[in-house]
Structure 1
Amino acid sequence: MPLRHALAGVLILLGLVQQILTFTGTVLLPHGVGYALWLATLLLWRDIPYRTRYQAGALAVIGLGMLLTANWHYGADIDWLAIASGNTYVVAMLVGVSFIGLIGNRNDAKRPLGRPVTGKRGSAGTWLGVHLLGTILNLSTVFMIGDRLARRAPLTTPQLLALNRGLSSAALWSPFFASMGVVMTLAPEMEYSRILAVGLPLALLSGLLTTLELSRRFDLTEIAGFSLSPRSLLMPVAMAALVMLFHFQLTPGLGIVSIITFLLPAVALASNLPKGPRWTLHRVRQHTLTRLPAMRGEIALFLSAGLLTLGLSTLVAAATGSEWTLFARFGSLQAIISFLAIVASAAVGLHPIIGVSVLASTLELTGHEQTLFAFTALASWAVGTSVGPLSGINLSLQGRYGISGYHMMRHNLGYALALSTLVVLALLGLDAWL
């Protein structure tokens, strides 16, 4: 193993440790998480697959170019020491989630998996499993279920599409999703009960649409799906219960992403300690030197996408100022136009959070408009992340399972169009209800 791989693994682990320490109010080095992760990425840069390396490099260069333009042309004040911190909280969560591999023993992967669930039932099981557990565990559910499916054979396109859509559609209603956290900040007076009444049925329709479409487009006879049996659900349900315990009782001040970041490594360590400290240390060392450097592709993509997001948001804010208002009133027509614009921007590579944040900064929302805006933002997030090649879910699938984000985009275009039609109808109905 090259020395730089070992050093990079240690730096990635150090980034995770620093992120966890910030939850206690301890900061070893301002922006140290970003510095550690970026330095590890640079050490591993030559080993990143060419396509991923090219994409990550382009994102980083464009993001830096936008920051320079905002600074030189518009006089924006840039905190240059902080530009390495974009998306570090997501990367730290992904690193924490990787410790799932330490739960149990090495023989677990050799145990027979039994007869797989295939066909429509298997596809529906994958979507439903990811959707239900993903509402709480977010992106970590995709890895739990995806890795289990990958034990049989490399994941196929229909399996990846079910994983993608099961998670992304949870943004329509889950109170624990990052999208809901963003929306609650931008529209604090929204009525969640109405969001739930519209978003949950729409999410279930997206699951039905996914099951029917995949069974029509692909031969699912031999494609394994996720079984919703008690045995297969044991670990993810137990983790979801632990996350809820920490969220509501033990650490109510922390968000779901932060809890997952420290909880999964803690559970992994606790599951190994009965075999002794030496065994535990050995497994952590092996994980640090092998598994963490292997995450170089997804880490590079997320860090570069974070730099792009920072650059674009800074440039837009500097160019437009804060005095301009996009719409005098935010009704169903304005909501539909905004939704379509954000989804279109996601399809060309911008994360929906950019469009949502820019939209919010150009509106003066009053009364029920906040609820309509909130659902517009959540629906844009749900559809945009499914189809966007640079969304968190597609970057993760690309980094973890080697599938191109643009491949996912092409296969999701029809789904996005159908779901967008349902969203437009939902926006019209919600506006009338309000």
Structure 2
Amino acid sequence: MRLAGLPVALGAVSLSLWLGVVLLWRDLGRRNRLQAGALAGTGLVLLLAAALVFDAEIAWLGILDGNSYVVAMLVGVSFIGLIGSRRGHAPLPGSAVTGRRGTAGTWLGVHLLGAVLNLSTVFMVGDRLRRHGELSLPQLLALNRGLSSAALWSPFFASMGVVMTLAPEMRFGSVLAVGLPLGLAAGALSLADLSRRFALAEVPGYSLSPGSLMMPVAMAILVLLFHYRLTPSLSIVSIITFLLPAVALASNLPRGPRWTLRRVRGHALERLPAMRGEISLFLCAGLLTQGLSAFIAAATGSQWTLFEHFGAPQAALSFLAIVASAVAGLHPIIGVSVLASMLELPGSRQTLFAFVALAAWAVGTSVGPLSGINLSLQGRYGISGGVMMRHNLGYAAALSALVVGAIVLLDAWL
């Protein structure tokens, strides 16, 4: 609608998304229900406290709008699965190799393809590797780290959508200039760690071919073209939300409208309901953020912030706190949302906050036993989230040291 210059009925979108969560609530896992319910309940209690105790004016009609743009982007990105085979998976040409080269290929394949296709890439590459037998621990760790580290820079990740919503004045180019090299450093760190701890000589890996990179590279170019040339007034979140479904539909239309309708219907009935866990978490975290922000503003008269100045020491402390909460079982979006609600940042500091949030997401989801990637690996391949956490602690500590160094450099640069 914004592309056509029409106003966005955000309230209707938010209400529809929340209605979907309510209808699918019984299908959520027990942990997911507890976490989402605690987030939403706490947010509502804080909103009520702000209104009743401090007599704050609450825009009740808009309390469901938190993170709606992010969830809309998640739904839009999911349509990329319609590009490809009859089963709805994007093609992944490539062959299996073994040893260090194969493990490096697994990490790089998941990292580059997952930068656009998100979590679905883990299953695509993982299922291909499982043709050679059940996945081993180094293969699972490569899948985990390859995807989670893409959160450091990819504009297609939910992490970037959340950050762009919380820090609208962030400079994406600055974050990319720091995050992309750090993502590659995470790959080198992973390969060195896995080579030292495991005998990789007979471990099958994934070998990328040029054809497997065409689609994600083309999508990234299209997003940048729209952002900088065709629709500069739209945010990257909005561009991704409409562009990926449009490309997916266009790729199916040559096979006829009935074929396209059948694919879209299958996606709506199977893939979208399967996203209920992450959608409920993002929406409930958005409600928590609204409640925290309203309560803190009402209780302090909008005069209190967590830090008077958000520099390198404060940023590093915030990063470590969010990662620690992820190890304890909280999704990084909770820590990021809570931090954002306690800060009042000028434009120059929003870029530093954005990098902190993305880095905490990348490290936290790799090591957190209840993160989406680890829960997905547990459900698909039977590896416990606790095992993944223990084997990722050293990697997370080393990557955290690099992140703290990057925070100091970025703070000096801004």
- TM-score range for the pair, normalised by the shorter chain length: 0.7 to 0.9
* Count of equivalent residues: 405
- 2:251 pairs with one of 271, 288, 300: 271
**3-state SS in 2 of match to 1:116:** strand
1:174: Cα distance to partner?
6.1
Aligned twin of 1:298: 278
Instruction: Provide, for residues 341-388 of structure 1, a one-character-per-residue CA deviation record: whole Å limited to 9, x for no partner.
Output: 343345442524325424532x689x8x78766655554454345445
> Structure 1 residues 332 and 79 mapped into 2: Cα distance closer, same or farther (>3 Å)?
closer
> Structure 1 residues 33 and 364 mapped into 2: Cα distance closer, same or farther (>3 Å)?
closer
Instruction: Provide, for residues 8-55 of structure 1, a one-character-per-residue CA deviation record: whole Å limited to 9, x for no partner.
Output: xxxxxxxxxxxxx35434457541112112222222222233333333
The residue type equivalent to 2:249 in the other structure is L
- 1:243 pairs with one of 213, 223, 237: 223
> Structure 1 residues 107 and 146 mapped into 2: Cα distance closer, same or farther (>3 Å)?
closer
- 2:336 pairs with one of 353, 370, 391: 353
Q: In the alignment, is the contact (CA less than 8 A) between 1:183 and 1:377 conserved in 2?
A: no
Aligned twin of 1:43: 23
In structure 2, C-alpha distance between the alignment counterparts of 1:315 and 1:404, rounded to whole Å: 38
In structure 2, C-alpha distance between the alignment counterparts of 1:64 and 1:228, rounded to whole Å: 48
Alignment of 1:312 with 2:292, yes or no, is yes
Using the TM superposition, name which of 36-45 and 336-345 deviates more: 336-345
Percent of counterpart pairs with the same letter?
A: 63
Q: In the alignment, is the contact (CA less than 8 A) between 1:385 and 1:392 conserved in 2?
A: yes
Aligned twin of 1:211: 191
- 1:99 pairs with one of 79, 84, 101: 79
Instruction: Provide, for residues 53-74 of structure 1, a one-character-per-residue CA deviation record: whole Å limited to 9, x for no partner.
Output: 3333333223323322333333
Instruction: Provide, for residues 218-263 of structure 1, a one-character-per-residue CA deviation record: whole Å limited to 9, x for no partner.
Output: 5656665443311222322222232233223222222333222222
Q: In the alignment, is the contact (CA less than 8 A) between 1:165 and 1:386 conserved in 2?
A: yes
Q: In the alignment, is the contact (CA less than 8 A) between 1:183 and 1:378 conserved in 2?
A: no
Q: What TM-score comes out, normalization by structure 2 length? A: 0.77
1:270: Cα distance to partner?
1.5
1:406: Cα distance to partner?
6.8
In structure 2, C-alpha distance between the alignment counterparts of 1:402 and 1:319, rounded to whole Å: 47
In structure 2, C-alpha distance between the alignment counterparts of 1:404 and 1:71, rounded to whole Å: 43
In structure 2, C-alpha distance between the alignment counterparts of 1:319 and 1:110, rounded to whole Å: 50
* C-alpha RMSD of the superposition: 4.2
1:419: Cα distance to partner?
1.9
1:124: Cα distance to partner?
2.6
Alignment of 1:234 with 2:217, yes or no, is no
Alignment of 1:124 with 2:107, yes or no, is no
Q: In the alignment, is the contact (CA less than 8 A) between 2:107 and 2:143 conserved in 1?
A: yes
**3-state SS in 2 of match to 1:117:** strand
The residue type equivalent to 1:143 in the other structure is S
Using the TM superposition, name which of 326-335 and 207-216 deviates more: 326-335
Instruction: Provide, for residues 127-179 of structure 1, a one-character-per-residue CA deviation record: whole Å limited to 9, x for no partner.
Output: 334545666x4xx3442454343355487765554455445445556688447
1:297: Cα distance to partner?
2.9
In structure 2, C-alpha distance between the alignment counterparts of 1:301 and 1:142, rounded to whole Å: 16
